Chains A and B, each alone.
Chain A
Amino acid sequence: AQSVTQLGSHVSVSEGALVLLRCNYSSSVPPYLFWYVQYPNQGLQLLLKYTSAATLVKGINGFEAEFKKSETSFHLTKPSAHMSDAAEYFCAVIPTGANNLFFGTGTRLTVIP
């Protein structure tokens, strides 16, 4: 069965520090991969998507993610954290042939001033 694993349910970084949120997927065939962000009491906002066009994907708000087939990973990074980045981040996958998103359990990012 297709799934994604997010390592670390909580991540804390200092303002200005590197943000690294980890996501691994299980699939023998590279699926479509996404990162979404959810601010408190809000819906999900699409940060970026991987659809096999390029392995390094740039998204909104300075985030990017690199698809590594050999590691079955799709980690999210941002060079310098901002206070406004504090939120819940979800990695998600659409398996080949499917139409729905499978979400990881989420990583709560805290930014320390």
Chain B
Amino acid sequence: DAGVTQSPTHLIKTRGQQVTLRCSPKSGHDTVSWYQQALGQGPQFIFQYYEEEERQRGNFPDRFSGHQFPNYSSELNVNALLLGDSALYLCASTWVGRHEQYFGPGTRLTVT
């Protein structure tokens, strides 16, 4: 049973560029959440998707956007990258109505 997978593992971008991160949820899960974890900090909630709709959003600017596909996989897009966007981006999945979330290994984004 495959767990949550994310790609790519690492990514280096330049300020002002755009980036797309991808996530496949754990088999059977239909809800995907994205979190940003800055170095030395706890993860912070970006947004959650269910039935291809953004269900809830954290305190992140509109530069952060997402999408969920019919197969429940998801993308996180960040436009106009800033140095402060450098972080580990974590995807988590669950079933709707359940509360425990299962995390992928993350994508390490470095903005130079």
Contacts and interface: CB of A to CB of B under 8 A. Distances in A.
Contact of A43 (B33, B55, B104): B104
| Interface of B (DSSP majority class) | strand
Interface in B42-93: 42-45, 48, 55-56, 58, 90, 92
A102 B43 CA distance: 8
Interface residues of A, number: 22
A34 to B, nearest CB: 7
B105 A105 contact: no
Contacts of A56: none
A103 B105 contact: no
B42 A99 contact: no
Given A90-B42, A104-B42, A99 B48 contact: yes
Given A46-B100, A51-B99, A106-B42, 19 more contacts: A32-B99, A42-B106, A43-B4, A43-B104, A43-B106, A44-B43, A44-B90, A46-B103, A49-B99, A98-B56, A99-B33, A99-B56, A100-B45, A101-B43, A101-B45, A103-B42, A103-B44, A104-B42, A105-B41
Contacts, number: 54
Contact of A101 (B6, B101, B105, B106): B101
Contacts of B103: 36, 43-46
Contacts of B102: 46
A100 B48 contact: yes
Interface string A72-93: 0000000000000000001010
A11 interface: no
A1 to B, nearest CB: 11
B59 to A, nearest CB: 11
A105 B42 contact: yes
Contact of A102 (B31, B45, B56, B105): B45
Contacts of A104: 42
Interface in A10-55: 32, 34, 36, 42-46, 49, 51
A7 interface: no
B36 to A, nearest CB: 11
